Amino acid sequence: MAAAPTQVAPDQFLPEADAVAWRRRVDEGELRQAEWLWGLTMVAHVVPFLVVAVVLVAFEPLALPVSLVALAHAWIIPELYAQRGANVARPPRRRAQGPPQPGSERVALGLLGDLVSHEARDLHARTGLVVEEGRLGVWLVGQAGALLLRPGGRRVHCWCVRVDDPDLPAGDRIAHLLLALRLDEQGFATVANRAFAGARWRVRRRLDPRARPALDHAGRLARR
């Protein structure tokens, strides 16, 4: 079964949120506003290129190559934004000291396994992401970021956030982020930097194939 929805007492707030006190605390209204603004941004980027492509061909058929370039830009720009969102699910690069010892990785994975359900452990083993149901939607937590599937499963917010110590084992980094999310879901989203908000299918196309089953699973949970 999936992990239980995040439960946060009213007096539980993420201490790191004090460092970004100027930011609006993320809630349902902020998420809807972000989706609207990101959608408007996509329209503002895409529509001018589509108009140029149509007008050029209409007035001068020989300008077809230029129109095709404009159409390519109309497609590529949203894909670049989606790529930036998908990048939050990629493991961070390690420092020159080399990877942690296998023993420390096993211990970290054991501690992470104690925090989540059997189904979540299996999903992490296959995809590198941990699923967590919260009040704002269904989260997928990785080593350097998290994806939030909104109710209905069609929209996804991608957040870049990481633990200060990059030399921690992968399991420890995910565990730190997962505990912060459980402590204060809204504060977690407030502290994190939003990399993308938009259609789930766009992000799925840019995800590493190994991570796509996790996004599909979260999408199913979000549609319940």
The pLDDT of residue 11 is above 70: no
More confident residue, 39 or 10: 39
Residue 97 placed within a domain: yes
Whole-prediction pTM: 0.85
**Ranges assigned E (strand) in 107-224:** 130-133, 138-141, 145-149, 155-160, 193-199
Residue 215 placed within a domain: yes
User: How many structural domains compose the chain?
Assistant: 1
List b or e across 25-64, with b for residues whose CB sees 16 or more CB atoms inside 10 angstroms: ebeeebbeebbeebeeebeebbeebeebbeebbeeeeebe
Task: Please report which confidence band the pLDDT of residue 194 belongs to, taking 50, 70 and 90 as the band edges.
Answer: very high
| Range of the structural domain that residue 164 is part of | 24-37+85-222
More confident residue, 151 or 119: 151
192: Cα separation from own chain's centroid: 10
Degrees, nearest 5: CA angle 86-90-154:
30
Q: What is the pLDDT of residues 142-160, one digit of tens each?
A: 998 999 999 999 999 999 9
Residue 119 placed within a domain: yes
Residue 48 placed within a domain: no
